[in-house]
Structure 1
């Protein structure tokens, strides 16, 4: 019986549950106001279960941030090297990004918190080094959009705009989906896909040739 309980504590599913609860808490309360007790309460578990997987609140938050970026890389960044023109690839990247904003909303909202912590927070040298690593991951993901804008100008499928500025304005628009989006009763994946397509059609118009 004790062995089973111990296995439950270290199972990947248990760790994922802690991460999901933490993402929700940080989204609702902000980084500073969230405690490990809050995460445990969200889980309906003891604080010991949270500490079993993460030694501190910063470590837990950094893993939530890292997970959010990895989700975007896996779901949206992968389309950078897909078929078609650069504009075709940008559409697929943007659509996937928007779906991530809707379907992993709590995690994605934490990216803004992480940027604010990096820019304005008081952190230890160790935590600052981790934040630098996370910002590099974020910049690497953003660079996929910048390169795609540059490729679009080269192949004629997009206007010859400054790739860095275009990347920032596009991501600024579609990142905001995580702020205003709220699922409707009875909503399905198909509904979200339709919404994502509509957003892509509206926001990309100014970039396409």
Structure 2
């Protein structure tokens, strides 16, 4: 059995975060199980714990990842100058984040 590459680890981690976000958005923190997340991500339950110490840590990372993505969108927004223009640009970026990251945003809203 070969070693897992850094790229493969990132891919598994991202898959776990995306799967967890969908489950947390749909079922909430309490009703979401690590078993369901592992199954949905196509990994063993123990693999989840290789990446995250607990369901709470995974939940916190889902929220943090959503925030990082929102910040990246805002920073990439070329809107500058007048405050009104900048606010409009930021609002457009936020709507785009919500559309693209719907499960994560639902977790935050829920």
**What TM-score does the superposition give when structure 2 sets the normalisation length?**
0.88
User: Which has more radius of gyration?
Assistant: 1
Q: Find the partner of 2:103 among 102, 106, 113.
A: 106
CA 1:103–1:81 in structure 2 vs 1: closer, same or farther (change >3 Å)? closer
| Gaps in structure 2 of 5+ consecutive residues | none
Query: Following the alignment from structure 1 to structure 2, what is the Cα–Cα distance between the partners of residues 80 and 52?
Result: 36
The aligned residue for residue 21 of structure 2 is 23
Q: Does structure 2 conserve the Cα–Cα contact (< 8 Å) formed by 1:40 and 1:50?
A: yes
Let me know the Cα RMSD of the aligned residues: 2.2
Matched, 1:44 2:42: yes
- 1:7 positional shift: 3.5
The structure, 1 or 2, with the larger RCO (C-alpha pairs under 8 Å, 6+ apart) is 2
Gap runs ≥5 in structure 1: 114-209
Give CA-to-partner distance per residue, 1:19-55, whole Å, 9 cap, x none: 1111111111111100100101111221112111111
Runs of 4+ aligned structure 1 residues displaced above 3 Å come to 6-10, 79-82
* Partner Cα distance (2:47, 2:65) in 1: 20
Q: Number of paired residues?
A: 110
Confirm or deny: 8 A CA contact 1:21 1:39 kept in the other structure: yes
Aligned 8 A contact 1:9 1:52 in 2: no
